[in-house]
């Protein structure tokens, strides 16, 4: 009788083992298309046999363990590539927007605006006494300014959008970190609630998927603990420790005229060091890539305006100046002019002030020194104003905004500036065509916009003189950029080339990264993916084993019935 009861227990174990195998097979088939699911395998082993005098008699089969079919090396590679892919994709999208804003294949691009500007200036040089080409020239200058301002605004808008995505991505990181911490707790509770070896496979799948999603947002390192939990760090700073989260937040600062958000760890406000992931891509695109483009564009606008103004400021319009006010105000009127923070500071030199008696035509020339040699008392705005005011028939003053005004003493006199070797006239904005020091503030001055006769085409008081207009035209080919080695067109084309190369290289890297991820996904699928055909084959095998076990139990039951009822 004892042997038959042992046989019943053997059959029951077999039923239970193959029922579990059938259930796991069904689980695999059910999740064949579930994202992040890892195929599970049932490991069956012979149960510990009974020792009898005649020898060992088997006790059937039992489930040794249920494990995931997983290649940890491929999984770690995917995690690294996810971070690279996320970073490159964010940068590629941002650079496409920059290329679209530059619009270099249309007639509305910046290079076309420069062409139209100098074409209009050529007409002024051809007909300096005519007001019509002067108005067209001023309007072309305003169109150029609008294009600079448009690009600056577009770049700022892109950076603001990226900034918003930084905030969203930080929130996404915190959400995933919390999910991982919660899953750590569930896995710890589940795996330690029964005898080992015991793995919460489905919970581990959910955690691995969360880790992959997290690695696409920010490059991480994972450290699996002996208790089954996973710790997660970002460049050595822990984000998740078992069931505890060190969440991220943002601090704000000003960069290139806009407010930007900087990721930090909430616990100690230390900056998050980014090595990859979408967050790194967003910050790199916002600050390094587009920030660098803004610096280049600002230098192009500011330096062009400064150099063009240096020529324009020493010229004369259809008439001399009766009064002119600087566009740049200085708060520090008694500080040396080389130390007041002018974007394009003056140097040691001088300029001439030509004052004309309009009745007699006589011109008086006064040389105004700009002492910035660092020896003795250097020139300040106050001393400069005094030096100008000391010239005959003109006066000079500084208003409450720190702006210098030079005026003729009566309607019988007018004046002009000449031979400025210091650059102070351009730096202060006296008799200039442009104002502003960067793309955002680049504009035509109210002086020439309000009176096109103030366009300084001459280097004398003669109406038909076009000498200065020709000098202004020469600015097109002057090597004013890159330390005096590069002309305007080459500088701008170099800028466009940099953007184009960056965009193309980023796209190539992204395409390559996409191919690598696809290959790794295929490798993962080979090991961890569910092949429904294979699972059906396994299902049939387990079904037959289950049916055989049931038949075995029925036979043993008949034997027991024969013994019991036959007595």
What pLDDT sits at residue 500? 95
What pLDDT sits at residue 2? 54
State pLDDT tens for residues 388-414: 999 999 999 999 999 999 999 999 999
What pLDDT sits at residue 194? 64
DSSP state of 458: B
CB atoms within 10 A of CB 557: 14
State how far the Cα of 141 lies from the Cα of 147, in Å rounded to an integer: 10
What pLDDT sits at residue 68? 94
Please state the domain extents for the chain. Answer: 2-69+531-566, 159-276, 322-430
25 membership: H or E segment, kind and range:
helix 2-30
State pLDDT tens for residues 456-479: 999 999 989 999 999 999 999 999
What pLDDT sits at residue 561? 82
Share of the chain above pLDDT 90, in %: 90
Is residue 560 pLDDT above 90, yes or no? no
Which pair of tokens denotes residue 445?
Answer: 């001055």
Place of tokens 């396994």: 538
Residue 79 contacts residue 85 (beta carbons within 8 Å): no
Q: Under 8 Å CB-to-CB from 369, ≥6 apart: which residues?
A: 350, 379, 387
Nearest to 327 by CA among 419, 212, 448, 218: 448
State how far the Cα of 432 lies from the Cα of 128, in Å rounded to an integer: 17
Nearest to 554 by CA among 1, 6, 7: 7
State pLDDT tens for residues 152-193: 999 999 999 999 999 999 999 999 999 999 999 999 998 886
Q: What is the DSSP string of 228-294?
A: S-EEEEETTEEEEETTEE--EEEEEEEETTEEEEEEEETTT-PBPPP-SSHHHHHHIIIIIIHHHHH
Span 297-319, average pLDDT: 98
Residue 502 contacts residue 95 (beta carbons within 8 Å): yes
Residue 165 vs residues 68, 171, 213, 260, 540: alpha-carbon distances, Å: 36, 10, 16, 11, 51
Place of tokens 């103030």: 454
Is residue 50 pLDDT above 70, yes or no? yes
DSSP state of 430: S
277 membership: H or E segment, kind and range:
none
Span 263-272, average pLDDT: 96
Q: What is the DSSP string of 494-522?
A: HHHHHHHHHHHHHHHHHHHHHHHHHHHHH
| Side-chain-side CA neighbours of residue 174 (13 Å) | 15
Predicted confidence band of residue 54 (pLDDT cuts 50, 70, 90): confident
Which pair of tokens denotes residue 218?
Answer: 């920010």
- The least confident of 107-116, 312-321, 401-410, 509-518 is 107-116
Q: What is the mean pLDDT of the chain?
A: 95
State how far the Cα of 446 lies from the Cα of 451, in Å rounded to an integer: 8
Is residue 44 pLDDT above 90, yes or no? yes
What pLDDT sits at residue 250? 98
| Residue bearing the bigger pLDDT, 556 or 172 | 172
State how far the Cα of 524 lies from the Cα of 511, in Å rounded to an integer: 20
Q: How many residues does the chain have?
A: 567
Residue 322 contacts residue 408 (beta carbons within 8 Å): yes
Start-to-end C-alpha separation, the chain? 13
Q: Under 8 Å CB-to-CB from 118, ≥6 apart: which residues?
A: 473, 476
- The least confident of 243-257, 368-382, 549-563 is 549-563
The residues with which 414 forms a beta bridge, in sequence order, are 356
Q: Dihedral angle at the C-alpha atoms of 508, 153, 427, 374, nearest 10 degrees?
A: -60
Nearest to 164 by CA among 279, 268, 264: 279
Taking the domain 322-430, which CATH number applies?
2.60.40
Place of tokens 């011109």: 363
State how far the Cα of 152 lies from the Cα of 133, in Å rounded to an integer: 29
Predicted confidence band of residue 6 (pLDDT cuts 50, 70, 90): confident
Nearest to 258 by CA among 351, 342, 156: 156
Which pair of tokens denotes residue 432?
Answer: 């200039």
What pLDDT sits at residue 199? 85
- The least confident of 47-61, 180-194, 413-427 is 47-61
State how far the Cα of 244 lies from the Cα of 240, in Å rounded to an integer: 6
State how far the Cα of 232 lies from the Cα of 211, in Å rounded to an integer: 9
């Amino acid at each position: 009788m004892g042997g038959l009861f042992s046989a019943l227990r053997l059959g029951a174990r077999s039923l239970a083992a193959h029922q579990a195998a059938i259930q796991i097979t069904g689980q695999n088939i059910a999740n064949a298309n579930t994202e992040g699911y890892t195929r599970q395998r049932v490991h069956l082993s012979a149960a510990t046999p009974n020792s009898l005098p005649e020898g060992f008699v088997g006790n059937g089969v039992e489930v040794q363990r249920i494990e995931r079919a997983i290649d940890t090396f491929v999984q770690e590679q995917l995690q690294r590539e996810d971070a690279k892919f996320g970073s490159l994709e964010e940068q590629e999208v941002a650079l496409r927007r920059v290329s679209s804003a530059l619009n270099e294949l249309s007639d509305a691009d910046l290079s076309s605006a420069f062409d139209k500007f100098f074409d209009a200036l050529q007409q002024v040089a051809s007909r300096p006494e005519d007001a019509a080409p002067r108005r067209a020239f001023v309007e072309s200058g305003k169109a150029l300014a609008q294009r600079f301002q448009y690009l600056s605004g577009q770049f700022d808008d892109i950076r603001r959008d990226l900034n918003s995505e930084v905030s969203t991505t930080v929130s996404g990181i915190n959400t995933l970190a919390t999910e991982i911490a919660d899953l750590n707790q569930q896995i710890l509770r589940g795996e330690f609630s029964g005898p080992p070896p015991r793995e919460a496979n489905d919970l581990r799948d959910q955690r691995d998927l969360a880790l992959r999603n997290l690695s696409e947002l920010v490059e991480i390192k994972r450290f699996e603990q002996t208790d089954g939990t996973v710790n997660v760090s970002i460049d050595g700073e822990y984000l998740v420790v078992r069931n505890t989260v060190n969440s991220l937040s943002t601090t704000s600062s000003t960069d290139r005229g806009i407010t930007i958000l900087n990721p930090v760890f909430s616990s100690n406000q230390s900056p998050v060091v980014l090595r990859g992931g979408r967050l790194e891509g967003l910050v790199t695109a916002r600050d390094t890539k587009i920030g660098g483009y803004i610096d280049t564009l600002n230098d192009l606008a500011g330096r062009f305006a400064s150099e063009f103004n240096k020529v324009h400021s020493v010229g004369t319009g259809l008439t001399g100046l009766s009064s002119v006010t600087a566009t740049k105000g200085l708060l520090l009127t008694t500080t040396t002019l080389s130390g007041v923070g002018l974007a394009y500071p003056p140097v040691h030199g001088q300029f001439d002030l030509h004052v004309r008696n309009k009745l007699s035509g006589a011109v008086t020339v006064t040389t105004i020194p700009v002492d910035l040699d660092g020896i003795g008392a250097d020139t300040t705005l106050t001393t400069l104003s005094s030096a100008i005011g000391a010239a005959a028939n003109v006066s000079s003053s500084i208003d409450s905004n720190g702006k210098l005004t030079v005026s003729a003493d009566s309607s019988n006199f007018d004046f002009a500036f000449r031979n400025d070797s210091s650059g102070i006239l351009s730096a202060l904005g006296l008799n200039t065509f442009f104002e502003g020091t960067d793309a955002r503030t680049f504009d035509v001055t109210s002086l020439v916009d309000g009176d096109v006769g103030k366009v300084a085409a001459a280097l004398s008081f003669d109406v038909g003189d076009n000498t200065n207009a020709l000098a202004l035209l020469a600015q097109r080919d002057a090597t004013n950029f890159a330390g005096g080695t590069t002309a305007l067109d080459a500088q701008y084309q170099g800028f466009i080339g940099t953007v184009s190369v960056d965009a193309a290289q980023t796209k190539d890297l992204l395409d390559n990264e996409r191919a690598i991820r696809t290959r790794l996904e295929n490798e993962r699928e080979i090991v961890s993916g569910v092949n429904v055909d294979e699972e059906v084959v396994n299902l049939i095998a387990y079904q037959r084993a289950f049916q055989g076990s049931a038949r075995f139990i029925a036979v043993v039951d008949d034997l027991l019935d024969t013994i019991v009822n036959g007595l």
